[in-house]
Amino acid sequence: MPDCRPPLASPSRPRHVLPAGACDTHCHVFGPGDVFAYAEGRSYTPPDAPYAKMAALHAHLGVERAVVVQANCHGSDHSALLDALAQSGGRYRGVALLGADATAAGVKQLHNGGVRAARFNFVPHLGGAPAPAVFDRVISLIAPLGWHVCLHLDGAMLPQLLPRLRALPVPFVVDHMGRLKAADGLESPAMRALLSLADVPQAWVKVSGIDRIASGQRPFAEGIPFVRALAEAMPDRTLWGTDWPHPNVAGDMPDDGELVDTFFEACPDAGLRQRVLVDNPARLYGFL
């Protein structure tokens, strides 16, 4: 039985119109479980959120492209992800979860299916940091294909990780604004560490998961200054995403239409929005 809440059944339609080619760089596909089984030993069981529902949401929002991130509940079985990418007809790219059992042949198969990155979960509720040897081996497998890595971590971890990240031979993306806490303010060590990435050419940041850094109450307005500061500091290396279907949300379930409008409030400059929503993901994920 699912132990996560489902996304809103009827999200609002955004008041603002997304630009042509807008990309949701962080969303997930779950199941359906009777077709794509969930992993044994998973840390959570979501309600099914199949490709058709994800595509319908994107059509509702005006999103033309997306990056589907492999979910922990599917483990190393990427069947649901690859099926979604195939159904998208090239409009979606993927991010894989790779571990000690990853092989060069398997990575090449994922690449041929539209995957362009590997994700590492450092947060405790998803198993904690990967073993250094596994991390380094995965990097060695993906680097020849031009992939990057996505890092799901707590912002407090970032200062100690920065020396290692600076030495990576591939670009890296910090997901969900490093899950910092808006209540700690713009001068918090986590936010200062994120902003320091502006000086790291291979570093990117994803202004997704605004609900995860805010108080948990819609429309998560206290996260707006953080989105704005990051986009202005890293205009050519900032990405935006919904995080649909919002697994393991503790507070209010986000309204994805509101999330679009909140981003417009955080990023009122049309030129900067074009870069974050269209140009940056097109360059990083190969939509060009």
Give pLDDT tens digits for 179-212.
999 999 999 999 999 999 999 999 999 999 999 9
Cα 269 to chain centroid, rounded: 23
What number is the average pLDDT over the span 154-178? 90
Question: What is the reported pLDDT for 162?
Answer: 85
pLDDT at 215 over 90: no
- Tally of structural domains, the chain: 1
Of the residues 243, 255, 256, 279, which is catalytic? 243
pLDDT at 183: 95
The burial class, CB within 10 Å (0-12 / 13-18 / 19+), for 225 is middle
Would you say residue 129 has pLDDT above 80?
A: no
Residue 252 is a catalytic residue: no
Q: Residue 12 domain-assigned?
A: no
- Average confidence score pLDDT of the chain: 95
Q: Is 17 part of any domain?
A: no
DSSP per-residue string spanning 155-168 = GGGHHHHHHHHHT-
Residue 124 has pLDDT above 70, yes or no: no
* Opening angle at CA 147, ends 285 and 197, nearest 5: 80
Is 15 a member of any domain?
Answer: no
pLDDT, tens digit, for every residue of 32-54?
999 999 999 898 999 999 999 99
Mean pLDDT of 148-156: 90
Task: Name the more confident of 157 and 114.
Answer: 114
State the residue range of the domain holding 162: 23-285
Of residues 6 and 125, more confidently modeled: 6
The model's pTM: 0.96
Residue 111 covered by a domain: yes
Q: Which of 78-82, 129-133, 186-190 has the lowest mean pLDDT?
A: 129-133
- Tell whether 10 is covered by a domain: no
pLDDT at 227 over 70: yes
Q: Does 18 map to a domain?
A: no
What CATH number is associated with residue 130?
3.20.20.140
Compute how many other C-beta atoms are within 10 angstroms of the C-beta atom of residue 35. Answer: 11
Give the model's confidence band at 158: pLDDT under 50 very low, under 70 low, under 90 confident, else very high.
confident
Q: Is residue 61 one of the residues assigned to a domain?
A: yes
| pLDDT tens-digit map of 13-29 | 999 999 999 999 999 99
- The pLDDT of 62-91, averaged and rounded, is 97
Q: Is residue 8 part of a domain?
A: no
10 Å Cβ neighbour count for 3? 11
Q: State the pLDDT at residue 127.
A: 58
Tell me the C-alpha distance between 65 and 167, whole Å: 31
